[in-house]
Amino acid sequence: MIVRQRTNWLKMLFIWRGSVLKKIVVQLTIITLFSLAIYFFKGKIFDYKVHLNPTIFTLIGLALAIFMGFCNSASYDRFWEGRKLWGLLVIETRSLTRQILSLVNDSSPEAKEEKEKIIKLISAFAWSLNFQLRDKSGTEHLERLLSSEQLEQVKNKKFIPNIILGFIADWLNEQNKKGNIDTIVMTSMDHQLNQFSTISGGCERIYNTPLPFAYSVLLHRTVYLYCFWLPFGLVDTLGWMMPLIVLLISYTFIALDAIIQEIGEPFGEEENDLALNSICRTIEFSIFEQAGIPQGELKKPDTYFVD
């Protein structure tokens, strides 16, 4: 995801990174060349003059805009729900870390080392959920956060975040048996782990349930049919300006179609998807800082940041 400050109006016209223009430039070029051909031949196909009233395109354009508005809202809801789930994960990881550090009544040197291992497991949960949603292994992060025994247990597993939650739950249960955590605190921490499971399940629901394919097909077909028929309706009224107006209208509709498809899958790695790597780094930095675990400097977005 690109995080970028809004600049002045002139620079905004020429921004390339973060824009969907590079995805649709070929389509826009074809439509523009097609419009120029229609203008050159005066709206004729061979010797047949295609008569299309501009009013028809007004009605179709209005219906298309309403439908695109619905699809855009549905896609943005998925994007924003994903962001809220990951925002909640940031809160819950910090809360669980605080409880582990302050409510586990064991101050021995060995206990401090054990707490650091569990806090690393919390970070590993966030990274593993990230990689699961992006169909990646993420071995480089898991190798530095998990023990060799734990790595062997998660090897070739599909739902690694759930297994890591099991590691944390086993440790909490062990502390409860030792008397380092009373029943009330144990219940509170178990609630935190349930929240982790809820977040993971919510993200999986978004990932496994895309927008209905029929919507995407209908929107895509209608947009392109509209853009290719539009030159016939405007050639007699706009003259040489027709290709430019068709280009502007086509850019609006086709770009919005591309944005709907992009943000509808918020856990991908395109420029407008959620910055999961950045969120995971923030989680790790904040909980390591709480526990006093040595770490590198948090990578923050500057002018722009590609996740």
Q: Please state the rounded mean pLDDT for residues 241-267.
A: 92
- Model's pTM, two decimal places? 0.86
Please, are residues 242 and 231 in contact by the beta-carbon 8 Å criterion?
Answer: yes
Please, are residues 266 and 83 in contact by the beta-carbon 8 Å criterion?
Answer: yes
Q: What is the pLDDT of residue 235?
A: 86
Q: What is the pLDDT of residue 304?
A: 40
Q: How do residues 93-105 score in pLDDT, each as one tens digit?
A: 999 999 998 888 8
Q: Please state the rounded mean pLDDT for residues 18-30.
A: 88
Residues with Cβ within 8 Å of residue 280, at least 6 apart in sequence: 123, 126, 127, 130, 141
DSSP 8-state symbol, 20: S
C-alpha dihedral (129, 135, 141, 147), degrees to nearest 10: 70
Question: Could you tell me which residue, 128 or 141, shows the higher pLDDT?
Answer: 128
Residue of 138, 145, 141, 94 lying closest to 116 (CA atoms): 145
Q: Please state the rounded mean pLDDT for residues 6-34.
A: 81
**The tokens 């430019």 sit on which residue?**
244
Q: What is the pLDDT of residue 302?
A: 44
Q: How do residues 55-82 score in pLDDT, each as one tens digit?
A: 888 888 888 989 889 999 999 999 999 9
Q: What is the pLDDT of residue 298?
A: 58
Q: What is the pLDDT of residue 301?
A: 46
Asked whether residue 272 carries a pLDDT value surpassing 90, the answer given is no
Q: How do residues 174-230 score in pLDDT, each as one tens digit?
A: 888 888 888 888 888 889 899 999 999 999 999 999 888 888 898 999 999 999 999
Q: What is the pLDDT of residue 307?
A: 57
Q: What is the pLDDT of residue 80?
A: 95
Asked whether residue 258 carries a pLDDT value surpassing 60, the answer given is yes
